[in-house]
Amino acid sequence: KAGVTQTPRYLIKTRGQQVTLSCSPISGHRSVSWYQQTPGQGLQFLFEYFSETQRNKGNFPGRFSGRQFSNSRSEMNVSTLELGDSALYLCASSADGAYGYTFGSGTRLTVV
Amino acid sequence: GESVGLHLPTLSVQEGDNSIINCAYSNSASDYFIWYKQESGKGPQFIIDIRSNMDKRQGQRVTVLLNKTVKHLSLQIAATQPGDSAVYFCAENEISDYKLSFGAGTTVTVRA
């Protein structure tokens, strides 16, 4: 079956702009979570959605937001981009958010 | 705070030898543990998982051991191959939190 699909793979944005990243989970998975990966901070949890409801949120500023659609696809948005937002953004899907997390290949965001 | 950490940031292994990667965790409420492998430019790839009601689980060439008494997790890779060169992360989940907490990662390099 198809894996987790993240688009786009690469993005270059300017400080102050906003960006939207997309994630399509594995078919049948209803939980989608997002993680930020940087060399300095490692992998950090952003938020998790299940059936269009956010169930948990990490310690990130309000500039980071997300949503989930009725087909389980998810988007995350970062507004007013800062240089420090440059990172690999990873999406993971799970049937229930408890077990069996599968990651996508990520979106590499570079803020200049 | 609660966190998961790996003991060594790097590990160099001779091809054909067995590898052992260690991880300590501090959240005694963790229910579920996963090992991921991440190659350059890719998202984390699931290797093996274990639930807190088990202390050992085996896969193809890999074994995960869980010692809840000392909050320790390890990944054993048998007959290490060049394709095993990657960064390995342990992650833990308190399933009611719907999020994974990751360790810092161990970079495994396989010597020919």
Token digits of residue A96: 């229930």
Instruction: Say if residue B5's pLDDT is above 70.
Output: no
Confidence bin at B1 (pLDDT 50/70/90): very low
Q: Do B99 and A90 touch (CB under 8 A)?
A: no
* B25-80 pLDDT, tens digit each: 888 899 999 999 999 989 999 999 999 999 999 999 999 999 999 999 999 999 99
Q: Do A101 and B98 touch (CB under 8 A)?
A: no
At residue B3, the pLDDT reads: 44
Q: Do A42 and B43 touch (CB under 8 A)?
A: no
Confidence bin at A1 (pLDDT 50/70/90): low
Determine whether A68 is exposed, middle or buried from the number of CB atoms within 10 Å of its CB (0-12, 13-18, 19+): buried
Summarize the confidence of residues A31-36 as an average pLDDT.
98
Instruction: Say if residue A98's pLDDT is above 50.
Output: yes
Instruction: Say if residue A6's pLDDT is above 90.
Output: yes
Residue matched to tokens 């161990």: B106
B48 and A CB contact within 8 Å: no
SS3 per-residue string spanning chain B: CCCEEECCCEEEEECCCCEEEEEEECCCCCCEEEEEEECCCCCCEEEEEEECCCCEEECCCEEEEEECCCCEEEEEECCCCHHHCEEEEEEEECCCCCCCEECCCEEEEEEC
**Which residues of chain B have a CB within 8 Å of the CB of A50?**
98
